[in-house]
């Protein structure tokens, strides 16, 4: 009625930027969102996410640091998670940003945490 976007829509837009490999191997364990300003239905937005650091164990029990520095994902990207072929971290964390495409104004910032699906545990 007032042409503002519903909160549920924001969640969908945040999830659009998460790489497909995450949905295939992980389940969402928590989400924290901070709304900065409203947007209207006609606004064009950019949905971005970036992995944060996490520690993973290889099959030989060696620890590997998976660092999100320099890795950024946008909706529709076919980029895979760094080092996913070498290690499968039991937990992942992403930071998220929704912003207006026209001027880059922040609409929403958030964090998601993901845990490996039970059928995917390697140890």
Instruction: Give catalytic residues, as residue numbers.
Output: 2, 4, 39
How far apart, in Å, are the Cα atoms of 74 and each of 11, 58, 65, 80? 15, 28, 23, 12
Alpha carbons within 13 A on the beta-carbon side of 34: 8
Strands 45-51 and 26-35: unpaired
């Amino acid at each position: 009625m007032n042409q503002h976007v519903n909160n549920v829509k924001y969640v969908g837009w945040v999830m659009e930027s998460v790489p497909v490999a995450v949905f295939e191997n992980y389940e969402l364990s928590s989400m924290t969102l901070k709304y900065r300003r409203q947007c209207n239905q006609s606004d064009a937005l950019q949905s971005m996410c970036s992995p944060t650091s996490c520690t993973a164990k290889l099959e030989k029990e060696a620890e590997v640091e998976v660092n999100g520095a320099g890795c950024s994902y946008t909706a529709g990207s076919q980029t895979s998670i760094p080092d996913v072929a070498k290690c499968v971290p039991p937990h992942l964390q992403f930071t998220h940003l929704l912003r207006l495409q026209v001027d880059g104004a922040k609409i929403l910032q958030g964090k998601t945490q993901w845990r490996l699906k039970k059928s995917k545990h390697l140890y």
